[in-house]
Amino acid sequence: MRPLAIRRVNRRADSRRGQSAWRWAIVDTRPGLESARWASAARATDLMDVPLDGSTGVASDEPILCVCTHARHDQYRAVKGRPVATALARVFPEQTWECSHLGGDRFASTMILFPAGLYYGRVPPDDAPDLVDRYRAGRVDLRFFRGRASLPNVVQAAEAFARAALGDDRIGAFSHEATTSEPGGWRVSFACDDRQVVVRVSASASTPLLTTCEATVALPVREFALTSLEVT
């Protein structure tokens, strides 16, 4: 599991003074088991004793919209993320949160939609509410889609390639069946309705780049490429 710190949009770090409880949520992003449970703790130290098996908390069907604004990790994330969080909070005030580092700095602004665990990158503020409307309708916004938190990164890349090739934006359209290593890459198979989709991907190192606004040394990052796609 991965912990995220969340706070209400445009809230200062010291604005909790005088409040009596810390809210927390446990989210399961596994396909078919997506769920979210909310509760609160009297003190921050009590969060260490929260059971992680889903046995406590109140179940919620509402989406949780987390936008990365982690300026301490990378100021550019906050510069790009806060306008997106603000735009979402105007439409979905109870569901929107600023959150700590999500990864993928060069794709700011980044966000994740729970409980499905859909990652998005380079989301413009004007498009963010529509992206959430599609999510609530069971759809993926293919323009900014980066993958699913519950899947290994190779499978995320393969699913993104399959969605782009087939134009299928249903959240549950692709069910991961197997991943096997092959010379030069991986073979990833999905079930999609009554079809099997086999995606072959390879990985390579990019040209060196600065991945954050504070980086001083350009380094290569791993990139995935589509080798082939078969539908049977």
End-to-end CA distance of the chain: 35
Mean local confidence (pLDDT), 32-57: 91
pLDDT, tens only, 71-118: 655 555 567 889 999 999 999 999 999 999 887 666 678 999 999 999
Q: What is the pTM of this model?
A: 0.87
pLDDT digits (tens, 9 = 90+) for 162-188: 999 999 999 999 999 999 999 999 999
Residue 198, pLDDT above cutoff 80: yes
C-alpha to C-alpha distances, 109 to 7, 97, 101, nearest whole angstrom: 17, 14, 11
- pLDDT band of residue 203 (cuts 50, 70, 90) is very high
Lowest mean pLDDT among 62-66, 71-75, 144-148, 187-191: 71-75
Can you tell me the distance from the alpha carbon of 128 to that of 118, in angstroms, rounded to the nearest whole number? Answer: 13
With beta carbons less than 8 A apart as the criterion, state whether 192 and 175 touch: yes
Strand ranges, E, within 32-117: 35-41, 58-59, 64-68, 96-99, 110-114
What residues are paired with 182 via a beta bridge? 185
Q: Is the peptide bond before 115 cis (omega within 30 degrees of 0)?
A: yes
Q: One-letter amino acid identity for 110? A: T
Q: What's the whole-number mean pLDDT along residues 11-17?
A: 61
From residue 30, give the alpha-carbon distance in Å to each of 53, 116, 215: 14, 7, 34
